[in-house]
A and B are shown apart, each in its own frame.
Chain A
Amino acid sequence: MLWYSVHTGKLWVQISRHPMSSSGSVSIVPTEQRAGRVALFATCLTDTFFPDTARAVVRLLERLGCSVEFPQGQTCCGQMHFNTGYRAKAAPLARNVASVFAGYDAVVVPSGSCAGMVRHVYPDLSVTPGPVYELSEFLVDVLEIEDVGAYFPHRVTYHPTCHSLRMLGVGDKPLRLLRAVKGLDLVELPAAESCCGFGGTFALKNAEVSSAMLADKMSCVLDTGADVLTAGDNSCLMHMGGGLSRLQAGVHPVHLAEILASTEEEPWVTPLATR
């Protein structure tokens, strides 16, 4: 699947089952060509609160041979407005996203929730979404890579966020990526598929129920004995991380991108120093 070229210093992807290639022959295209023009949609939350995640996506994708653009016109996908009942206020944000990312072959989003909004809700707002991919989808489906060459020597548990799981259907792609990470000790999260209680403005409008859900999620996280809790959405991680931090549990919430970006040469560092 994956081919490393010592000449260019880039990874290449061997295409299997390519419709144009005759059987038996091996066709190889560079990752860059395979992915085309790639843009990063950082999302408003990650841009403002978790820039490490966005930097990690760039580092990871560049390491895999993509050249990544970051269109400066991007803001927010509009999900919070839409899901809270402010359709009309979500529409201009959706139009902005569509125009900013027009013309790219792939828009990579380190959030299942925002990717789901763009892919599944924009048509309902009469906005045509471009080819948007949640990070694990982009890696596994477009680049066809599961081993991204990462190194992360920590005990990690993974929470599949609701929208990545049920709206996008990323399935076990994040887990496949994590299992290939060198040094990583992956522990299964009990009741993993239960919602953490974030739910956008739900966390405020129904703060008590949200907190009760969070408490159960945290006890499952603590049961794993993991040092790091990871997920594909910083929103949910912010919620669970906020609970873990309040408990002073010593479990770090780390976005999947940061784990995958971490290498022996450039390892992940404890976030307290940088955030």
Chain B
Amino acid sequence: MGDTTRNPVTWLGSPAFPTAAKTALADDQLRRNLKHATGLIRTKRAGAVAELADWEQLRLSGEAIKDDVLANLDTYLLRFEESVTARGGTVHWAKDAAEANEIVLRLAREAGADEVVKIKSMATMEIGLNDALQAGGVTPIETDLAELIVQLGNDRPSHILVPAIHRNRTEIRDIFKATMPGTEDLTNEPVELAAAARAFLRRKFLSAKVAVSGANFGVAETGSVVVVESEGNGRMCLTLPETLITVMGIEKLVPTWQDLEVFLQLLPRSSTAERMNPYTSVWTGVTPGDGPRNFHLVLLDNGRTDTLASTVGRQALRCIRCSACLNVCPVYERTGGQAYGSVYPGPIGAILAPQLGGDMHDKHAASLPFASSLCGACFEVCPVRIDIPSVLVHLRAKAVEAKPRYSPEAIGMAAMSWVMAGPRRFHVAQRLAVAGRLLSRGGKIRKLPFPGSKWTNSRDLPAPAKESFSAWWKRTRG
């Protein structure tokens, strides 16, 4: 058993967000790549969503279906387990990352595999499955193009949907040339890059005994599992090997088959801005003569039940991993995903990672809810209406609770609250603040000592008015 105390959902040793963001902001190429990619997908998403006149109704349904799942999670999980088992699948339960990794490794070994092909899956990234498999002597091969780019580049993911969004075509070409045999003449044309990945992976697909996948949805009523993808690597993994192991977060359920009619409209338009993604696979247990003969499903908790316990925070479990919130986030657009120090970056990551991790004493995790200007663009696009700004603020309060009671910030906040609780002290403070004009020139303050320098490094600050409005009112009208 590995370290079971630390949840790998956040990367060990990650600096607090502001520090990581500073590093990211200094990378001009990164910022250009992100601006280009997020700008493109934002416009496309808006178009795909505008096509459906009932988009808001679909969002309301999506939200309510997921709330129902969460409110009755035990019932639906048991129903799902029963359905999967009845159709020839085997269901496993994993409390945490270490346990899930152990189950997958054991199953892979029992199937006689020293290599497994993998479909991009947030759940397996979250638990650090690749490292665990590698350590256990089983080589994981990522088959999603972006995951492959990340794996071959010995890099970390930076986006939920497109983990290599921080790389442009030329950088990708260079990674392929350095790691794939027979790619000396590769150009940076996306079509050629995709063809190179196709040739490289085809042999792996044909020889693999075991595939590992995540799941976009599990249907409690039927035991069906759904994987939504684009490239066909998912279909390869779900169809060709003899054994399929699916790791699925316990919140991924929908109650009925009919419920999918909502999510199969919400997800593609929100994530890749398509009317429908190229491939969606649905399978239920084992089908004789078609696809894997052994199907194992690992139900993963890893902090989800702790998240469920928070009445404000549990809505994060509605997330269907579309990544629309990342694409519209002005903070994400400037820093990219790696600055968040988790497989879940962006606005959803800032509320999901600290909750799954469950340790607000961790300085890095505690910094994530503050990585937002609370502009609300994320909530506006969320297909399941997660009120991300409200959860951020809720988690900020948790972070403050975990801090020493007498931090300079806490003292400052308490003092300001005391001053502003009524007009008397407030008006005295306003008169005192006028002294701030001494620091100003032409009504502008250009330089303040720390922490005011955080503002004045890039912006002027207006000096307080000579006479406040309330003083003026009292003098002229009071």
B78 at the interface (CB under 8 A from A): no
Residues of chain A lying within 8 A (CB to CB) of residue B417: 78, 81, 86, 89-90, 92-93
A82 at the interface (CB under 8 A from B): yes
Contact-residue bracket for chain B: 35 or more
Partner among A202, A245, A272 whose Cβ is within 8 Å of the Cβ of B370: A202
Contact A85 B397 (CB under 8 A): yes
Partner among B416, B455, B464, B478 whose Cβ is within 8 Å of the Cβ of A48: B464
- Segment at the interface with A among B15-23, B87-95, B131-139, B194-202: B15-23
B331 at the interface (CB under 8 A from A): yes
A192 at the interface (CB under 8 A from B): no
Size of the A side of the interface (Cβ < 8 Å), in residues, is 66
A162-B376 in contact given A85-B397, A89-B417 (Cβ < 8 Å): yes
A55 CA to B400 CA, complexed, in Å: 37
Residues of chain B lying within 8 A (CB to CB) of residue A245: 444, 459-460
Contact B420 A76 (CB under 8 A): yes
Contact A92 B421 (CB under 8 A): yes
**Contact string against A for B residues 409-425, beta-carbon threshold 8 Å, 1 for contact and 0 otherwise:** 11001101100111100
**Contact string against A for B residues 457-470, beta-carbon threshold 8 Å, 1 for contact and 0 otherwise:** 11111111101111
Residues of chain A lying within 8 A (CB to CB) of residue B25: 208-209, 212
Partner among B373, B477, B478 whose Cβ is within 8 Å of the Cβ of A199: B373
Contact A166 B468 (CB under 8 A): no
- In the complex formed, the residue of A with least CB distance to B334 is A212
Residues of chain B lying within 8 A (CB to CB) of residue A49: 462-465
A200 CA to B389 CA, complexed, in Å: 13
B451 at the interface (CB under 8 A from A): yes
Residues of chain A lying within 8 A (CB to CB) of residue B393: 82-83, 85
Contact B478 A206 (CB under 8 A): no
Residues of chain A lying within 8 A (CB to CB) of residue B232: none
Contact A197 B373 (CB under 8 A): yes
A74 CA to B424 CA, complexed, in Å: 10
A133 at the interface (CB under 8 A from B): no
Partner among B31, B330, B458, B461 whose Cβ is within 8 Å of the Cβ of A194: B330
A245 CA to B433 CA, complexed, in Å: 21
A211-B457 in contact given A92-B417, A199-B375, A275-B443 (Cβ < 8 Å): yes
A205 CA to B422 CA, complexed, in Å: 27
A180 at the interface (CB under 8 A from B): no
**Contact string against A for B residues 1-35, beta-carbon threshold 8 Å, 1 for contact and 0 otherwise:** 00000000000000001100110010000010000
**Contact string against B for A residues 60-74, beta-carbon threshold 8 Å, 1 for contact and 0 otherwise:** 000000000010111
A interface, over-half SS: helix
A200-B370 in contact given A51-B467, A206-B18 (Cβ < 8 Å): no
Contact B372 A89 (CB under 8 A): no
B446 to chain A, nearest CB (A): 8
Residues of chain B lying within 8 A (CB to CB) of residue A151: none
A239 CA to B454 CA, complexed, in Å: 12
Residues of chain A lying within 8 A (CB to CB) of residue B369: 85
A238 CA to B334 CA, complexed, in Å: 22
Contact A44 B426 (CB under 8 A): yes
Partner among B399, B461, B473 whose Cβ is within 8 Å of the Cβ of A242: B461
Q: Which residue, A92, A207, A214, has most C-beta atoms of chain B within 10 A?
A: A207
Query: Hey, which bits of chain A sit against chain B, CB under 8 A?
Result: 42, 44, 46-51, 54-55, 70, 72-76, 78, 80-87, 89-90, 92-93, 96, 162-163, 165-167, 193-195, 197-215, 238-239, 241-243, 245-246, 272, 275
Given contacts A54-B469, A96-B422, A209-B335, 10 further A-B contacts (CB under 8 A): A50-B462, A51-B469, A51-B472, A85-B397, A197-B330, A203-B454, A211-B457, A238-B461, A245-B460, A246-B459
**Can you list 27 A-B pairs, Cβ within 8 angstroms, ordered by A?**
A47-B468, A47-B470, A49-B462, A50-B465, A55-B472, A72-B478, A84-B413, A85-B369, A85-B393, A89-B417, A93-B421, A162-B373, A166-B376, A195-B330, A201-B370, A202-B370, A205-B454, A207-B18, A208-B22, A209-B335, A210-B373, A211-B457, A213-B330, A242-B460, A245-B460, A246-B458, A275-B443
Query: Hey, which bits of chain B sit against chain A, CB under 8 A?
Result: 17-18, 21-22, 25, 31, 330-331, 334-335, 369-377, 379-380, 393, 396-400, 409-410, 413-414, 416-417, 420-423, 426, 430, 433, 442-444, 446, 451, 454-455, 457-465, 467-470, 472-474, 477-478
